[in-house]
Amino acid sequence: MGNGGGQEETKKAGQWEERYRKYRSAVFAIAYRMLGSAADAEDVVQDVFLSVPDAGPEGADDPIRHEKAYLSRMAVNRCLNLLNSSARKRETYVGPWLPEPLVRSEDDLPEEAAERGEAVSYAFMVMLEKLGPLERAVFVLRETLGYDYEAIAGLVGKSEANCRQIYSRAKRKLGDGAPVREPLGLEKQRSLARRFAESFREGRTQELVRLLASDAVLMTDGGGKVRAAINPIYGRDRGLALLAAMAKGSMKGARFEEVAFGGGIGLAAWQGDRLHAVISFDWSGEDEPLRNLFTIFNPDKLARIRPRLAGEEVVKDRT
């Protein structure tokens, strides 16, 4: 009888591992795009899979039916709860709240590399901050993950007609919006990021003028913890003034390293072994390429990003 119990536990563990392997990336994609934080998304993934009952969602004795839809609904519900609970914190946040970029690492497992490689652009993640929790859920499921309205209705607990209305409202809020994916190839992005880093470090203003669009927008996220612009900086001239102040001030002598974000190429600014900032670009084209520049200074966010960049990430228990 004891042996039978052991076999049953082994079987359950095998079912858990298979379910985790098959659906982890799908659950993570929902959570990251809804929350804008890779760390929070990982927590949701772990919570979802550890909360799955042995029986089906309706108490059936057979394994969970329609597993992906069931797990997705769990992820959406947890993300909505987190977004609703954090709404007041973001309203009182000092300066712009920027998402934590989805940083790729050489140590990624194949499925992790795939989910990060298929990520939406960072500029698009920033745009999503304009939406309320339910609008964000519907828009993410429809626009970036390709769910039909019937499936979305089941995931968010609304009618199909209501989901269509919510999606339309979200589209209006975003306007033309940013592209879901980066408009330039990775090699072109890499070349432009290097030009920016060299020009910034060496104070070559004219080169920065050529890189910045005339209507460029610069956003910095210090979270009230460190000095940063508390409002977006609009226009090339004001943007150049901010970059000059950064180059002569807190980022003087910084060492830049290329960073592979989920949707493109960015930069990490190091001062010794301290991660001082992470920079993300929104390139629009060849003539006036840089339309948005996003810089994270908030030390709390950098503390969560740094281990991946430094190759020090602690591998989570996947069982």
Q: Using alpha carbons only, give the angle 118, 84, 49 rounded to the nearest 5 degrees.
A: 55
Nearest alpha carbon to residue 197 among 243, 156, 163: 243
pLDDT for position 99: 92
pTM above threshold 0.95: no
Q: What sign results for the dihedral spanned by CA atoms 136, 139, 144, 150?
A: positive
Longest dimension (CA), the chain: 79
Residue 212 CA to residue 205 CA, distance in Å, equals 10
Residue 311 CA to residue 201 CA, distance in Å, equals 25
- 10-residue mean pLDDT series, the chain (319 residues): 58 73 91 91 92 57 67 94 82 88 62 54 90 95 92 94 96 80 83 94 91 94 92 95 92 92 88 94 79 95 87 43
Strand-pairing partners, residue 9, are none
- Which residue is it, tokens 């909360």? 51
* Three-state secondary-structure class, residue 102: coil
Report whether 97 contacts 258 (CB < 8 A): no
Report whether 87 contacts 79 (CB < 8 A): no
